[in-house]
Structure 1
Amino acid sequence: MKPLRLATALAAAALAVLPSTARAADYPDPRPITGQQIVHDPTVLALKSGGYVAYSTGGVIGARTSEDLRHWDDAGNAFTRPPSWWYEYNDTGDPWAPDLSFRDGRYWLYYAVSSWGTNHSAIGVATSPTGLPGTWTDHGKVFTSETTDGFNAIDPAVLQADGRLWMTFGSYWTGIRMVELDPKTGTALPGAEVHHLATRPDAPYAVEGPSLVRHGRSYYLFASYDACCAGVNSTYKIRVGRSTSVTGPYTDSTGKPLLEGGGDLLLASHGRYTGPGGESVFRDHGTDWLAYHYYDAEDNGTPKLGLNKLSWTRDGWPTLT
Structure 2
Amino acid sequence: MKKYNVAILGATGAVGREFIKLIEERNFPYNELKLLASERSAGKEIEVAGKKYTVEEARPDSFKEIQIALFAGGSISKTLAPEAVKFGAVVIDNSSAFRMDPEVPLVVPEVNPEAIKQHRGIIANPNCSTIIMVMALKPIYDSVKIKRVVVSTYQAVSGAGKEAIDELTDQVEAVMEERPVKARVLPSASLDKHYQIAFNLIPHIDIFVDGDYTKEEMKMVNETHKILNDPSIGISATTVRVPVYRAHSESINLELDGPLSPPEAKELLAKFPGVIVQDNPAEMIYPMPLLASGHDEVFVGRIREDKSVKHGLNMWVVGDQIRKGAALNAVQIAEYMIHQNLI
TM-score by structure 2 length? 0.27
Q: Which structure has greater strand proportion?
A: 1
TM-score by structure 1 length? 0.28
Q: Which structure has greater helix proportion?
A: 2
